[in-house]
Amino acid sequence: MTRKASAEACANIALIKYWGKRDAERHLPCNGSISLALADLRTVTTVAIDPSLTADTLALDGHPASAAELGRLGKVLRPLRERAGETACVRVESVNYFPTAAGLASSAAGFAALALAAAAAYDLTLDEPELSRLARIGSGSACRSVPGGWAEWHAGTDPAGLDSFATRLAPPDHWDLRVMVGLVATGPKAVGSGAGMAGTVATSPFYAGWLQGVAEDLPVARAAILARDFDTLGEAAERSCLRMHGSMLGAVPPLLYWQPATIAVMQAVWQWRQEGLPCFFTIDAGPNVKVFCPAAVAADVERRMKFIPGVTGVRASGPGQGVALSKAHLF
Ligand code: PMV
């Protein structure tokens, strides 16, 4: 007999970034972060408990997962198995509805969906903080995809990470902003975020300045979101993005995720703002640029972005929900 559950989660884009871990094994961050979930960048994950299996299996977009990916799966499943008193292995399939490993945080949506689907398959009911902590074990930023909407990940201080999870600052319909994901490259990146963070924390003299800046920006961004203050949020978000990337440039060896088209979009956004078009950018650990704007000007921003040489596509999204069970199983 197999027991099966599916869940769906959205990717999230950080406005105040997470960069650097105080505990790499548990994905405990050095700083808090704030994000928006994206309705149109979704992952669906199905988990089936199958006693006939001798090892867990994982397929990502139809391809067998690597040993490293299976290792991360095992880390998320372990606490659930212990709690459920189960030893049976699982078959997991996950489908992303956007390009993977290109700075679009596909792992965030994937691990949030995995946490809920696996808990349901093992017949466990976890509350939101528990699910968020579990998703965090797979990928740090995944904890923010659990509450969805406008979310804040509290860094916490507990060595075991009990106070390090995300809560919702505001629901998705609190503020109808649009995010235009400007695709600059869709291939996997050369340096993953985990290695990039570790190198920055260990070697960048700018890292202390990064942490000081985040402490100042978190309350500013939180208040701006609650007050729907676009200009203040945009200033804080661009500052957070640029300082995060600045801290990487100071690492040894230096880390630079940007491509020429990344910079072209950034400069275009500054130009458009001068012309009176409300928009701001943010960039994760990859070359793609996400441009935030009010829904009323989204079509204009999207059209302009498509004209920038090197931008191969634009994926528009509105605010997304938190993780939810889905009735549509993948297999
Ligand atoms: O949790 P990870 O390994 O996907 O790291 C995410 C790091 C950034 O995307 C660069 C910033 C963030 O807060 O999402």
Could you read off the pLDDT of 138-150 as tens digits, one per residue?
Answer: 999 999 999 999 9
Number of domains in the chain: 2
Q: Domain end: 146, 172, 198, which one?
A: 172
In a domain, 42, yes or no: yes
Ligand 1 site residues (CB inside 6 A) read 14, 17-18, 33, 105, 107-108, 139-141, 193-194, 284-285
Instruction: Round to whole Å and give the CA distance between 306 and 313.
Output: 6
Domain that holds residue 254: 177-317
Q: Are residues 12 and 150 in the same domain?
A: yes
- CATH code of 69's domain: 3.30.230.10
CA of 107 to the centre of ligand 1 (A): 9
The residue ranges of the chain whose pLDDT is under 70 are: 1-2, 99-105, 186-188
Q: What CA–CA distances, in Å, run from 197 to 18, 268, 287?
A: 9, 28, 16
Shared-domain flag, residues 230 and 149 = no
Its pTM stands at 0.96
Same domain, 146 and 160: yes
Measured CA to CA, the distance from residue 15 to residue 269 in angstroms comes to 16
pLDDT digits (tens, 9 = 90+) for 88-134: 999 999 999 875 444 465 789 999 999 999 999 999 999 999 999 99
Ligand 1: centre distance to CA 274 (Å): 30
Q: Within a domain: residue 324?
A: no
Residue 2's pLDDT is what? 63
Task: Report CA(206)–ligand 1 centroid distance (Å).
Answer: 18
On whether residue 52 sits in a domain, the answer given is yes
Minimum-distance ligand 1 atom for the alpha carbon of 33: 13
Q: Which of 118, 146, 172 corresponds to the end of one domain? A: 172
Pair 34, 164 in one domain: yes
* CATH classification of the domain holding 307: 3.30.70.890
